[in-house]
Amino acid sequence: MRFHALLFVVVFSAVAVSAQEPTTRIRAATVIDGTGKVLRNATIVVQGSKITSIDTGVSGSASYNLGQLTVLPGMIDVHAHVAWHFDKDGRYAARPGSPASEILYSAENAFVTLMAGFTTIQSPGSASDVELREAIARGALPGPRILTSIRQINERSGTPEEIRALVRQLKQDGADVVKIFASASIRDGGKQTMTEEQLRAVCGEANTLGMRTMVHAHSPESIKASVNAGCQQIEHGVFADDEVLKLMADKGVYFDPNIGVVLQNYLKNKAKFLGVGNYTEEGFAYMEKGLDLNKTMIKKAVATPNLKMVLGTDAVAGAHGHNADEIVERVRQGGQKPMDAIISATSLAAKSLGLEKAIGTLGPGYDADLIAVDGDPLSDISAVTRVAFVMKGGKVYKHVASGAKSNSEF
Ligand SMILES: [Zn+2]
């Protein structure tokens, strides 16, 4: 990992905030608000951690004049394994190291993710996520806001009654979401693994408790069974066909396909994973085939009316900081309109997390989570990978001076 000469400014606001919170004015030629609107020559006024107004066409002083950069809401990745890392020998760590090394690797991943413009991520669960979530929320450690499932529920989690108890325990332990494995990994063919009774138990109990659910499901049967069991979001869906895509759209279930980052990252880093668990030659052959399956699937998904497709990467070791590639590939491979791809990573992703009143949109009353990218993503979607400015909760974490090289090489 190499740091480019970037100039970034970290502003620590005073802990004891007086009635007069500092005002920051951010001006840019173009602002995309996350809901589909574009504002020109806009000044975003931030007081403390919130946006208070967005003014257009006015001049006056600006704390940050971002010139020709395009401002967007901080991006959201609804599926990023923030704890996954390569070890000091460069290999994927099959077993956790010391608690101290695990949390430091997680903090590094959180940092590069924030620098790539992602101000919120959802982690489908590692033991260290809660401590990381709390440390970042305290305000000094730079990283995205984190939501986590802490653990996962799968076909070996027990009887329906035992599964219901596990869901209640997750709530007690502070999980933000329940992560479920309804099918095998793509490296094992992706067939359904949990029974319908098990799926009804986990998603039924979660719904009763008001907890969100996200389900790893590749095969059409596993997607159908999950949707019919009342689960709220489907992950991956490599084998999703027209029927289940329509079923998700009809039932208002969120779909989080991962077509632009995870498989490419595994194949690029094959030597670092090979030999651990199901990272076998056969597993890699499945993943290689998955690239084409994904290409076919994403075109169908984009063409499915009313399908609520959110942005998630399944970022694992090696992929952190490259999250925005998923947005680029949605447009390139899937033919999604750039504005729709941006909405899926901002206001729609926020809605899937139940945070639509706080993040994912630029407007008065929203958290001041915003980024600026070099270029116009509506005409060149790769601009979302060139993040020059990052503000989260009113604090500036990154500001690349204009003309300096961007952050493409973390
Ligand atoms: Zn995952």
Residue 56 CA to ligand 1 centre (angstroms): 41
Residue with tokens 């920051």: 24
Q: Where does 7-123 show beta strands of DSSP type E?
A: 23-32, 38-47, 50-56, 64-65, 70-73, 75-77, 118-123
Ligand 1 centroid vs 271 CA: distance in angstroms? 20
In a domain, 121, yes or no: yes
Residue 272 belongs to a domain with what CATH number?
3.20.20.140
Q: Are 370 and 70 in contact (CB under 8 A)?
A: no
For residue 80, the CA-to-ligand 1 centroid distance in Å is 7
409 CA → ligand 1 middle, Å: 24
pLDDT-flagged residues of the chain (< 70): 1-19, 402-410
Residue 217 located in a structural domain: yes
The answer to whether the CB of 29 falls within 8 A of the CB of 68 is: yes
CA of 377 to the centre of ligand 1 (A): 27
Residue 177 lies in a domain: yes
Structural domains of the chain, count? 1
Distance between CA atoms of 125 and 227, rounded to whole angstroms? Answer: 21
The string of DSSP letters for 295-344 reads HHHHHHHHHSTT--BPP---B-TTTTT-TTHHHHHHHHTT---HHHHHHH
Do the domain assignments include residue 406? no
CA distance linking residue 349 with residue 334, whole number of Å: 18
Residue type, 237: G
pLDDT tens for each residue of 45-85: 999 999 999 999 877 789 999 999 999 999 999 999 999 99
Whole-number pLDDT of residue 1: 37
Residue 201 in domain: yes
pTM: 0.93
Other beta carbons less than 10 A from residue 208's beta carbon? 12
* pLDDT reported for residue 59: 73
Cα 314 to averaged position of ligand 1 atoms, centre (Å): 5
Distance from the alpha carbon of residue 174 to the mean position of ligand 1, in angstroms: 20
Question: What residue numbers bound the domain in which 310 lies?
Answer: 83-352
| Distance from C-alpha of 150 to C-alpha of 176, rounded to nearest angstrom | 8
Residue 9 inside a domain? The answer is no
Q: Per the domain annotation, does 379 fall within a domain?
A: no
Task: Please give all residues whose CB falls under 5 A of ion ligand 1, grouped by chain where several chains appear.
Answer: 124, 314
- Residues 6 or more apart in contact with residue 26 via CB below 8 angstroms: 43, 44, 46, 62, 63, 64, 66, 71, 370, 391
Residue 95: the pLDDT is: 82
Select from 229, 220, 230, 227 the least CA-distant residue to 183. Answer: 220
In a domain? residue 58: no
